Structure 1
């Protein structure tokens, strides 16, 4: 009887899950960048690593990937969701707030770096098409590696961190024209280049317009309809449907599926469900990143290092030198001192993860010779591995420059770059009548806020008015992390459900012990429970209603307005003191 395997590539899937299950906690424990860890693991267990010895040692086949096709299909999902997550990080609000750095510095960096690198690639004998692809793709940096380094160094909120993040945003946006360019070049020269560009551009515009119309007419109402059930599995299903559905539409239009996934992320980034989607995919984020970068590592043939022992490290140094010089000059023109500018340049000087996607597609469509593609992937991989060390050197160089020039005007300019603490925004959990009043009072005083509400219909109405109100339960710490709750000035709880409010106070106080928590309670008994759970200040709704009614009665019986206010305030303080 013929035996059929129940699931294709079951062994590869189980091995990958086992590796990620071990690697993710180990990398987090030892604070090793996950991108670098998965690249190294993929190289080690891939067909060009331990997989080379499976013929001599058959037992190794159980712990390696001798054939990369076993994970190629899964890796496609990794690519799609990497692009989706990049798109989800972008939004019109962020782009507009950082427009000077995004569209000014970011565009200049990509254009100048691409021109210099492309020219060098052409001078080394590559065809014009290959030189253009290499110039653009090597101008991009690694969002995953740089963001993790900035989070570890706590520099994301500094002026240099915001400038670096802005340049990364423009690089992410540059993915769209690069994918379109790949589609044009892959079709060859049987048609005129101008007609190919025009046709692809029209297809791209048509696909984007279709996606926009679907987003307005189908996706957002669909999320609204199903969000009422407040079930994470429903959100996961809708997110998968949106991502894969839009990716399928772009493929039908003759464009890349990765472009569709990127556009799906952009579309959802503009909705009130953005943060809830982020929380929903968070458990899978590390897994999908691991899948993608491990598959990339499996495609790297480390034997190529022996073929170019001198050219390879020189190419890595050259990539860092070109990009560091360009970025440092742009940051210097933008107002940073030379020390900070060089630090930013070294941080963004590596190649990016998108290189692996583009080079892989270029090899598959025979736009790029495989030896060239292997060499470039090795250069980018080594640049990723070198980034923490190079970034550390940039920090040391900046410190030395600032010390040596501390008495000069340039040194004073560098010292002025240290960010001054800004008033943090408040987070409002529950945006009913009480929450709306708090939000309106905060906005009137120029205090920024972000609010979460579980009523999808109310959220849709308020979000359409331009208010920073998003769907989600603020008792979920994952949701609070997406809005950087650790930087909030205060968290205000105005939830209707007493148990939800109590659960939220306990969770927030455990995670953020120093942030003030102001809560509304149902009655005084509930207020005592909230105070014991860690709320900074609690106001029972029955207390204020009773005090206001008492004030009206006393004034109606002839007591003066000032006397009434004094009596009411004394009673308010006494009762609040009892709660405390």
Structure 2
């Protein structure tokens, strides 16, 4: 049993989960991309690393992956989920809004980079078909690395997103050509084309008609597990449908993502699938690292270095030059050019598909996979160099980018209180976004024209996506005292300058919220009493002006009393904490003082 475990899927799972749970957090603590960590893990545990020593040291079976082919299906699932996540960014509305950048700059960047890279490779002896395949594969840039680094709201992020969106769209026909055209006759291509058109049309129609109802039913269960299961079911069914007619399964995943992006569920779907997507993509990156042969790297490192530098220079100049010609600031062009210069994880997919069908030689694919893996590892360094270059050539670019951003108010909970807050914000022309976990409430609010998102605010991942750091205020309207207090403490520690206004049940609850860190707490019982007093005074003949003034004065007085109560309740705990710290300090001092 001992030997079986060492060479079974259990030991492989041990390595993968160990990388995800131990190595990757360590890289994150050092501010190094997890993508680099997974590739390095693959290099270490692969056959050219520790895996090559298992015949001498059997205990290394527990630290290596014995059968790469056994985990390839999980790696393929990681790519499917990656393309699904890309689809979630590819809503039809977004494509229409960015069509000039996507189909203008994006298309020009990919085609020109591919032409220059392919032309250079042809000069070095590659055949025309091999040079074309390599040109398009190496012209791709990393969605998995670039977007998390640049975001999608900054000028650099928007420019990178437009080009990446076109590359993601182009990936589908490129995979078809590399993976199908090289191995099929013309008649077979025509058959795949018409069957594929029918399947894609069917997916679009079925998705439009049935996906909203399916996700609505899953949302009503209030079960994250069911919501996750439905999300994965949609992705897998769409992938199977496109794969069954000869198209790439990732095309189905991309279409599924685009369809869900059109619904109000896209943020929640992205959040619940993120852990699976990250782990599955990590397995794919581990398999890439396992393909890298240390002996090969040491023997041909000058050629690898020269090839990678050539790719980086061509792509940086093409991307930066096109952005500059389109009117972008010089700092934005410089930073985006360097950020987009490295090859991509999709480069590895295209190289693998082309090698499998004989479009390029396996040795050629291995060489460029190694170069791509090295390029991926230095992408964060390129991003850093890009920011330095942008500051040097255009010192005011960052100030200009930040100056144009207008903060919005985020409203958690959209019952009667949240809806009233949204109405008043609209009345005064202030932007807002509401978030609610009741799908029926969300659907009715959307039909009424409110800006609202479906999601569970208890999820940390959703909070991170809302970009609260640039918001003007956060309003907590949920009728859940425990959740409101917990959110307040967490958000106050993360966003010390954010204005947090919370609904409270009564004055005692308001005092607890002030202690937790809210800027303002509004007790419902207190407001009802003040409104009743106002109505009485007006109805018995007191002038409206003095009544309103006295109500405001009374509200301020009561709020001060509540805040004082919160401070008094906090003081005993603070005093006990200080006394405990003092005792510990004295005890430590006594321990460190030698006896007389």
Q: 1:398 to 1:526 in 2, by over 3 A?
A: closer
Alignment of structure 1 residues 158-307 onto 2, 5 Å: 158-188=154-184, 190-191=185-186, 196=189, 199-306=191-298
Task: Label 1:477 to 1:393 Cα distance change in 2 as closer, same or farther (>3 A).
Answer: closer
* Residue 380 (str. 1) matches residue 363 (str. 2): no
Partner of 2:470: 487
Quick check: 1:504 aligned with 2:499? no
The answer to which of 51-60 and 431-440 deviates more is 51-60
Question: Alpha carbons of 1:226 and 1:507: their partners in 2 closer, same or farther (altered >3 Å)?
Answer: same
Moved more, 168-177 or 301-310: 301-310
Q: Residues 497-522 of structure 1, C-alpha deviation per residue, up to 9 Å, x if partnerless?
A: 33333333233223322211111222
Q: 2:500 aligns with which of 517, 529, 553?
A: 517
1:104 maps to which residue?
104
DSSP 3-state at the match of 1:538: strand
Cα distance in 1 for residues equivalent to 2:100 and 2:201: 27
For residues 511-536 of structure 1, give each alpha carbon's deviation from its aligned partner in whole angstroms, at most 9, with x where no partner exists. Answer: 32221111122233322222222111
Distance apart, 1:183 and its partner CA: 4.8
- Whether contact under 8 Å (2:410, 2:434) holds in the other structure is yes
Q: Which residue of 1 is the match for residue 17 of structure 2?
A: 17
Render the CA deviation track for 1:417-449: whole Å, top value 9, x for unaligned. 553153211111011222122223323434322
1:271 is paired with a residue of what secondary structure? coil
Tell me how far apart the structure 1 counterparts of residues 321 and 287 of structure 2 sit (CA, whole Å): 36
Structure 1 residues 49-78: Cα deviation after superposition (integer angstroms, max 9, x where no partner):
332333444443332234321321221222
Q: In 2, are the aligned partners of 1:246 and 1:260 still within 8 Å (CA)?
A: yes
Q: Which has more helix, going by share of residues?
A: 2
Alignment of 1:527-546 (within 5 A): 527-546=510-529
Q: Kindly indicate whether residue 547 of structure 2 is the aligned counterpart of residue 551 of structure 1.
A: no
The residue aligned with 2:310 is 318
- SS for the counterpart of 1:135 is helix
Deviation of the 1:13 alpha carbon: 1.8
**Deviations, residues 172-226 of structure 1 (Å, cap 9, x unaligned):** 33323323333541443x325xx82x54444443333222233233332122112
Relative to structure 1, the CA distance from residue 565 to residue 387 in structure 2 (aligned partners, 3 Å threshold; closer, same or farther) is closer
Query: What is the rounded CA distance, in whole Å, between the counterparts of 2:299 and 2:503 in structure 1?
Result: 69
Q: 1:187 to 1:19 in 2, by over 3 A?
A: same
Aligned CA-pair RMSD: 2.9
Which range moved further: 247-256 or 282-291? 282-291
* Counterpart contact for 2:7–2:61, Cα < 8 Å: no
**8 A Cα contact 1:142 1:350, kept in partner:** yes
Asked whether the 8 Å contact 2:12–2:66 carries over to 1, the reply is no
Q: Is the 8 A contact 1:453 1:470 kept in 2?
A: yes
CA distance in 2, matches of 1:136, 1:463: 42
Closer, same or farther in 2 for the Cα pair 1:545/1:208, shift >3 Å?
A: farther
Give the Cα separation in 2 of the matches to 1:27 and 1:62. Answer: 22
**Unaligned stretches of 5+ residues in structure 1:** 404-411
Q: 2:335 and 2:484 mapped to 1: Cα distance?
A: 45
Do 1:159 and 1:417's aligned partners in 2 also have CA atoms closer than 8 Å? no
For 1:418 and 1:519, locate their aligned partners in 2 and report how far apart those are by CA, in whole Å: 31
Write out per-residue CA displacement over residues 246-302 of structure 1, whole angstroms, 9 at most, x where no aligned residue: 111111232111222222222222222222222223333432232111111112234
Is the contact between residue 150 and residue 156 of structure 2 (CA under 8 Å) also seen in structure 1? no
TM-score in terms of structure 2 length: 0.86
Q: Is contact 2:19-2:38 (8 Å) kept?
A: no
Asked if structure 1 preserves the Cα contact closer than 8 Å seen for 2:11 and 2:63, the reply is: no
Deviations 1:462-495 (A, max 9, x none): 3356643122232333211112122211111111
The answer as to 2:353 corresponding to 1:361 is yes
Kindly indicate whether the alpha-carbon contact (under 8 Å) linking 1:278 and 1:482 is maintained by their aligned counterparts in 2.
Answer: no
- 1:134 deviates by 2.1
- Cα gap change, 1:126/1:447 in structure 2, threshold over 3 Å: closer, same or farther? farther
Contact 1:12 1:70 in 2 (8 A): no
Provide closer, same or farther for how the CA distance between residues 416 and 234 of structure 1 changes in structure 2, counting only shifts above 3 A. Answer: closer
Question: Is residue 47–residue 67 contact of structure 1 (8 Å, CA) maintained in 2?
Answer: no
Deviation at 1:11, TM superposition (A): 2.5
CA distance in 2 between partners of 1:209 and 1:550 (Å)? 63
The alignment status of 1:474 with 2:457, answered yes or no, reads yes
Structure 1 residues 163 and 83: CA distance shift in structure 2, 3 A: same
Change (3 A) 1:468 1:366: farther
What's the CA shift for 1:141?
Answer: 0.7
Q: Contact 2:5/2:11 (CA < 8 Å) preserved in 1? A: no
Structure 2: segments with no counterpart, 5+ residues: 564-596
Asked if the contact 1:523–1:541 (Cα under 8 Å) also holds between the matched residues in 2, the reply is yes
Alignment partner, residue 28 of structure 1: 28
Indicate how the Cα distance of structure 1 residues 132 and 199 shifts in structure 2: closer, same or farther if over 3 A, else same: farther
Closer, same or farther in 2 for the Cα pair 1:110/1:12, shift >3 Å? Answer: same
What is the CA–CA distance in structure 2 between the aligned matches of 1:400 and 1:566, rounded to whole Å? Answer: 55
1:48 to partner: Cα distance = 3.0
Whether the 8 Å CA contact 1:68–1:299 is kept in 2: the answer is no
Q: 1:429 to 1:167 in 2, by over 3 A?
A: same
User: What is aligned with 2:135?
Assistant: 135
Aligned partner of 2:437 in structure 1 is: 454
C-alpha distance in structure 1 between counterparts of 2:46 and 2:26, whole Å: 20
Q: How many residues align?
A: 562
